[in-house]
A = this chain, B = another copy of it.
Amino acid sequence: MGKERYTIRDIADMANVSRGTVDRVIHNRGTVSEEAAKKVQEVLEKINYEPNLIARSLKAHKDHVIAVVIPDYSDDYYWRQCANGIHRSEKEFRQFGIFLQYFEYSKTPEDYNEKFSQAIALDPDAMLIAPVYYQDSLELFHRLEEKRIPYNLINTPIEEVAYHTFIGQDYRKSGRVAAQLMNALAPHDKKILVIHVEQHLENSTHLHEKEQGFKEFYNDHNITQPIEVFTFKEAQQLNDLRTVLPGTAGIFMTTSKTYLLADHMREHENIKVIGYDLIPKNVQQLKEGKIDILIHQNPISQGYDGISLLSDYLIYKKEVPKVKLLPLDIVVSENVDCYL
């Protein structure tokens, strides 16, 4: 029961070698005679040695720099939450010698590429990237791979590149969840709308996947309710909905811009609305009953895990998963407080 914990010194004594030799055996480095190695190995196995990680990490780590490339979050609640998660992790790992450098891009593909390049120029030990506009940046990713800089992706997966870990959600599943909920809430004798509000849809495969998943659910269950898809690049285009809303049972908004709908729905209060993200405007409308359900994309966890996984890798060389999928949290007005 009283599992004793042996130290390097104990092992050295038992094997009649010096502490340095024990260390060399444990880490497979330096030069050790076969004889000594064998003796130490035997002791190690016999006592089932587990190193004291506290002591190990007390030893001065060399500093590591992680470059963080995310959208400017000065007036964007979602990305600010993500940044908060990053800050939290940064604070936790600072004493282990992890330092972050932030590169915030204003929301254009050009600036994204610009800031991404700057980050690479810094020659960091690792990178965390939110590749919202990924299309033209594939070349940059290849440069990272050439320089052997490990990088994690958050929020937007890119199949074509050799990222370390992707942290985000399964967007097809996400669409399916939305569909199941919509199907449970909305009358079946009217049409359903799927609405994307996104300036650069060509870059947003994940929105597409949500739509696919949504339709897939209806197909799988042989529900023949009409589903119409709209894509708006600008908020004001939502005016076009005026002629479409009559005869609509529910609306699935694929982005956090869900709150934009309310202004256009004053005479259609019974249309069910399902959208994304716990940004304040959405939360307020959820509480007011203008939005029925929000799917939570966990931006805080995305940021936190994104940095934590890289740090564990840099410091401890811990193995990391290729994909870390965050749960698809269903949020209604009564449980929204749990997630804020």
Q: Is the interface of A mostly helix, strand, loop or mixed?
A: mixed
Residues of B near A337 (CB, < 8 A) are 173
CB pair B332 A329 closer than 8 Å: no
* Cα A185 to Cα B61 with chains together (Å): 56
Q: Give the size category of A's interface with B.
A: 35 or more
CA distance A160 to B61 in the complex (A): 47
Q: Enumerate chain B residues within 8 angstroms of A180, measured Cβ to Cβ.
A: 332-334
- Interface membership of chain A positions 47-91, coded 1 if the CB is closer than 8 angstroms to chain B and 0 otherwise: 000111111011001000000000000000000000000000000
Known A180-B333, A338-B327: A95·B52 in contact at CB below 8 Å: yes
Would you call A29 an interface residue if the criterion is a C-beta within 8 Å of the partner chain's C-beta atoms?
no
| Residues from chain B with Cβ under 8 Å of A57 in the complex | 54
| Shortest Cβ distance from residue A91 to the other chain B in the assembled complex, whole angstroms | 8
Is B96 touching A177 in the complex (CB atoms < 8 A)? no
Minimum Cβ distance to chain B for residue A185 (Å): 6
Check B334–A3 contact: CB distance below 8 A: no
Instruction: Tell yes or no: A28 within 8 A of B by CB.
Output: no
Asked whether any CB of chain B lies closer than 8 Å to the CB of A99, the reply is yes
Min C-beta distance of A100 to chain B, whole Å: 9
Q: Mark A26-60 against chain B: 1 for CB-CB distance below 8 A, else 0.
A: 00000000000000000000000011111101100
Produce 1/0 per residue, A256-297, CB < 8 A to B. 000000000000000000000000000000000000100000
Establish whether residues B328 and A338, one from each chain, have CB atoms under 8 Å apart when the complex forms: yes
Question: Which chain B positions have C-beta within 8 A of A181?
Answer: 332
A144 at the binding interface (Cβ < 8 Å): no
Interface members, chain A 173-205 (any B CB < 8 Å): 173, 176-177, 179-181, 184-185
Contact present for B328 and A335 (CB under 8 Å): yes
Task: Find the B residue at minimum CB distance from A328.
Answer: B335
* Chain B minimum-CB-distance residue to A329: B329
**Nearest 8 pairs between A and B by C-beta?**
A327-B338, A330-B330, A328-B335, A177-B334, A180-B334, A176-B334, A177-B335, A54-B58
Additional A-B contacts beyond A2-B99, A327-B339 (7; CB < 8 A) = A5-B97, A53-B96, A54-B61, A173-B334, A173-B335, A180-B332, A326-B338
A-B contact pairs, 10 of them (CB 8 A): A1-B101, A52-B58, A54-B54, A54-B61, A54-B96, A173-B337, A179-B334, A180-B333, A184-B292, A329-B329
Interface residues, chain A, with chain B CB atoms under 8 Å away: 1-3, 5, 50-55, 57-58, 61, 94-97, 99, 101, 170, 173, 176-177, 179-181, 184-185, 217, 292, 325-335, 337-339
